[in-house]
Chains A and B, each alone.
Chain A
Amino acid sequence: MAEPASLKVSVWRGDAFQRYEVPAGTNQTVLDVVTHIQREIDPSLAYRFACRVGMCGSCAMTVNGRARWTCRTHVKRVVGEDGALELRPLANLPVIRDLAADLTPFFEKWQRARGTFQPKDAAEGAVPEDFAVVPPASKARREADAGIECIGCGVCYASCDVVAWNSDYLGPAAMNRAWTLVNDVRDGGRAERLDAVAGDAGCHSCHSTQSCTERCPKNLDPSSAIAGLKRTLFWDTLLGRR
């Protein structure tokens, strides 16, 4: 792809796009572009980042219509010959200012989906008497391992159509977390958790369009996790186990 000499960046400023011209550089990330705008052109621009190396997930934004980690997105991967770059805050979330989205609803839904580990053999918060033996190759552990690396960046949540249609919908990340705990043999909150993720606000509204899986920067598969919850709840409901 031919590289433009300068980038024409449209940045959402709450009520309209503002246009900035940013010099193109080699190995430039979208976060570099945003940082350039704020430091060199317009210090009033609000955005958020922390680690810059794809560990924290806080720099996620909508880049040319897709939710991405801006620190891990090279400009040349998303910009054509015209050098046009459009930046918006993450979708499906309230906006604090400019490019900074408020992730409160996102994390509240993790709690609603009972995303906290509940030790089975000890009172809540207590340290169990002994180590639990969990064979790493067991089916349940492999299912849990598949989703455990989520860092809560909200890219899947911003990419999910069902969240856009139903503001109560828990979203991919919260249910991915719930599924890892449903498969955690040390956890004692299975029944309550399955109740929490069932129904119209939970896994049963998922259309399996898999934008979450497609866009997860960690290459996780929340869509399969949600399918796992549906499967478990289907048999539990049909056989009267809940």
Chain B
Amino acid sequence: MSDASTKGDAMRAGRPRPATPGVHLWVVQRVTAMLLGIAVVVHLVTIVTAVRGGLTAREILDRTQGNEAWLLFYVVFALAAGLHGAIGLRNIAAETIGLRGRGADLAWLGIGLLMAAFGIRAAIGLYA
């Protein structure tokens, strides 16, 4: 309890507020969820449209090669998916096995960015 009241005094005195772990990650997760909502719809519509009349590698590359719009779309998609998934796993790990703390948070952020990097690498492969 003394901890809480000291914090309060510190805040009233105008000192920097304490870091509240999770808030920014939560905001990132919500924003990426919104992006994924749009991206998944675009993705599914593209799949359904693309498979009409058969699907070939040539057809995919014709669509994506040299097309900045698709590159941007897949980069944003991969980034959102990587971060969103990692933050979700972070929360599951915290609640089920008690894996918490700054180190774990940074590790999850790293995992999320690594996953995104794999996706972005694939998107660049389709673009180049």
Contact = CB atoms under 8 A, between A and B. Distances in A.
Interface residues of B, number: 22
Given A111-B1, A111-B4, A165-B96, A198 B11 contact: no
B11 A237 contact: no
B58 interface: no
Q: Which of A108, A114, A198, A242 has the most CB of B within 10 A?
A: A198
Given A165-B95, A192-B11, A200 B27 contact: no
A112 interface: yes
Interface in A109-141: 111-112, 114
B22 A195 contact: no
A233 B17 CA distance: 15
- The interface residues of chain A, by DSSP majority, are classed as helix
- The interface residues of chain B, by DSSP majority, are classed as helix
A238 interface: yes
B20 A108 contact: no
Contact of A199 (B7, B11, B22, B96): B22
B94 interface: yes
B8 interface: yes
B24 A237 contact: yes
Interface in A174-222: 191-192, 195-196, 198-200, 202, 204-205
Interface residues of A, number: 23
B2 to A, nearest CB: 11
B94 A114 contact: no
A58 to B, nearest CB: 22
B22 A200 contact: yes
A202 B8 contact: no
A198 B94 contact: no
B95 A199 contact: no
A28 interface: no
A234 interface: yes
Interface of A: 108, 111-112, 114, 162, 165-166, 191-192, 195-196, 198-200, 202, 204-205, 230, 233-234, 237-238, 242
